Chains A and B, each alone.
Chain A
Amino acid sequence: MAKYGMVIDLKRCVGCYSCVLACKAENGTPPGVFWNKVLATEKGRYPSAHIYYTPVACMHCDSPPCEGVCPTGATYKGRDGIVSIEQEKCIGCRYCQVSCPYDVRSFNERIKGYFQEFGLTPYEKAAYARHKPGTVSKCDFCSHRLEQGKEPACVVACPARARHFGDLGDPTSEVARLIAGRSGYRLREEAGTQPSVYYLPG
């Protein structure tokens, strides 16, 4: 069984937010719900000030704090390395959101569409069936696409080819080689969560 992971090359990321939109389009997340985000950080002072972009989504940790605090077992770590939420089991206590060091979980409020004066569009009606109000949701590495042999939507959409997806367990895979060759690191490594998303230094 593959152990899925992602590598994000910060040297290539241009901060275009395509991955954010691709995720929204693919997963049809309601307003206010962002499974994939791009964080912009300012560094330095004028005239040598810079903005750095860091895309973040669920890190699919190997020791996920969210799984440990979930009282119902709705959040679970699959054998493929993907941390998923069983929406039918989620009671919406939000303990997982409080406990996530990366703040990448969203809570589905009562769902309102993007175009409130017109009601839900046919696309929204279809997409929101997946998003149960009162539950927590997050990135699942586009499991439905993986089943069809496709890569996650954000990986395919990235125009700068900054995202790579593959099997971390296989040392010959592209992701494993990138991590080894370009000293890939993980966010908040010291938290001991063992994320499956690696970053290549910018």
Chain B
Amino acid sequence: MLTIEVNNRKIEAKSGEMLLDTLKRNGITVPTLCHMENLFPTGACRMCVVEVEGERALVPSCAYPVRDGMKVQTHSPRALRARKTIIELLLANHPDDCLYCVRSGHCDLQGLANELGVRERRYSGGKNEYHVDSSNPSIVRDPAKCILCGKCVRVCEEVQAVAAIDFVGRGSKTMVGTAFSEGLNVSSCINCGQCIMVCPTGALREQSYIKEVLNAIADPGKLVVVQHAPSVSVTLGEEFGLKPGADVDGMLVAALRRLGFDRVFDTSFSADLTIMEEASELAHRIRTGGKLPMMTSCSPGWIKFVEEFYPEMLDNLSTCKSPQQMMGAVIKSFFAEREGIAPDKIFSVAIMPCVAKKFEAGRPEHSRNGIPDIDAVLTTRELARVIRMRGMDLQSLTPEHADTPFGERSTAGKIFGASGGVMEAAIRTAYHLLTGDELPGLKVEAIRGFDGRKEAKLEINGTPIGVAVVSGLQNARQLLEEIRNGRDDIHFIEVMTCPGGCIAGGGQPLNANPDAIRARMQALYTIDRDEPVRTSHGNPSIQRLYTEFLGEPLGEKSHHLLHTHYAKREVMV
């Protein structure tokens, strides 16, 4: 332990850490624009500059290691003036269209300009002509609002191992772009939207489908159904001032009804359905010597990643559609038949924590007879916008239940929202399929929690089974490389594109800190602990769907409706 003096008060620091980390832990806030937790500091933005006694110039605290006895002033007039000037310079060529910007209120640049008291345009810089890139079904890029902090570039390369974007050009003409400055839609972008989550401005945003959804609701000729993903109920509350991890499931259902959706379904139900198919597929592969390790297929960013970077491993992917697409398929088949309504009269909406789900919904494999199974995907953020637009107070709504036949879920389906949840749910059901008994305790502790890589060794019926859970595709890439190099003790792999799983997806509320994301995860496991139905095969509605319609897992109907295929993608990687 070291002792340093900050703003004339002594605080403790850990040897080897950067000054910014010390300050943060001691509750001293120094603003940053380019800093990224757990990644090597670049010192690019200089917002975190502080005065250190004995140093001639201001130093960037993010990249300045602490020294015992050092004396620091974090908010001296000189430091504040420097920060303000940096913001003023960044604003010199900014469009200043906050009134029209979707990021307004969540924008770091706007927030800092306000905090530092920028009240006039002191510098006026030349502006480049930029095109908004709206080619991608998930993500929109507006280079005019970009401050070149580099966070999107780094998250894409260092966290997701995709590197679809980098700095292009030089000097005042520099911009963030793809190889050959092409549209994001034809790049290697996997649509995860982690770039949106780290962007300090409105330069990156989700492709919004709010208008399409509202138009469908207003159309008397359409039956508009909606499903909401497992993680949405534990994150939406943050948009309305509730503390992270608050579960607003019933109020969410009530809000969706008041918005005019004709039926409200729970994607956790189709997560249960996914487990029935996926666990059966795993058991089948193990019994018949099929391709192993089997890899989960719920996360559409991950699917595109395999199609681009590991096409030789496509057969390892489970053929199961994701819960969103399984729900979409049974809505426009079983439900449509049951209601006596033509599939093209149904408008099917999904509320997702994810922007890649927008891309997934548009994949041609996910439509039948030219009719897409899912018509529009809204993120948690977009739903919050619609609720606000309608002047609803989420907290004052009386909780309601989702609709039959797809409203009842087990908690196994609910924990899909956290990294490790799909695996745990699948193990519960696979254990049952292979032994006829229930997994003792219904819990696999080793694959819970926030680590990017988790592994466990199980024994089912005397057969050892190795499982691995990864989130963040850099972790996935490492594991795939191990397998490529001959590792063969893993039978089943869960991959979530976003670090921590869907609770930290690219469509979730912005500006969440690590504690908030932990609280979201905890909320899902609390639901799992406290409710009685904790296995997918124990969900009575699932059993009914198989009896009345599907027959059996991996049966012919399932094959047509619930399974899919993948293909190699030719993109510049």
**Chains A and B come from one and the same complex:** no
Residues of chain A having any CB pair with chain B under 8 Å: none
Residues of chain B having any CB pair with chain A under 8 Å: none
